[in-house]
Amino acid sequence: MEFLKKALHNNELTDLLVGKGDYFFEDHDYPMQPTLFSHVWETQIIPYQNELKTQLPFELMVSLKELLDYKEDINLGLYVFLAVAKEYFYYLNIEKKLTFTLDFNQLIPEVKKVLSVNKESLMKDKRWAGADWNIKGNLGMDFGECG
């Protein structure tokens, strides 16, 4: 939890989700990933969701909005946004480990806009979803598993 508390205290939750700096967790199966997304949820978010029940959902929504306007690398921001959404719905609907909900519906207009504006750049980006190692071509994610 030290990472989550530090991230919340320093207004760095987006950095934690992206895997920036000290918040990076290596994915040994796919070392090209920005971070090990499931590890962030399993070790940081899920265990402490009740302790941070009022702050965490609000801060996650703020970070999701920041990812849709991630100045350092919009394609990375979009990739992480989708990875966070995938993990969220997986732990909410499949594992049933979450005690909070997030309203993704309020983000849909902005997601559509950002995808449209960045379509060409996204189509050319071969780092994650378009990478050779990611043969599914869908971020390595089967959204059908998420409910």
Domain 2-146 is of which CATH architecture? Alpha Horseshoe (1.25)
User: Which range is least confidently modeled, 26-35, 52-61, 97-106, 136-145?
Assistant: 136-145
Of 2-6, 9-13, 31-35, 58-62, least confident by mean pLDDT is 31-35
43 CB burial (10 A radius; 0-12, 13-18, 19+): middle
- Give the domain ranges of the chain: 2-146
Distance CA 18, CA 13 (A): 9
For the segment 116-147, what is each residue's pLDDT rounded down to a tens digit?
999 999 888 888 876 776 655 444 445 455 44
**Residue located via tokens 């895997």:** 19
Q: Which of 53-67, 96-110, 128-142 has the lowest mean pLDDT?
A: 128-142
Q: Are 18 and 76 in contact (CB under 8 A)?
A: yes
Instruction: Please give the Cα distance from 48 to 69 (Å, whole number).
Output: 27
Could you tell me which residue, 128 or 75, shows the higher pLDDT? 75
Q: What's the pTM? A: 0.87
For residue 137, count CB atoms less than 10 angstroms from its CB and return exposed for 0-12, middle for 13-18, buried for 19 or more: exposed
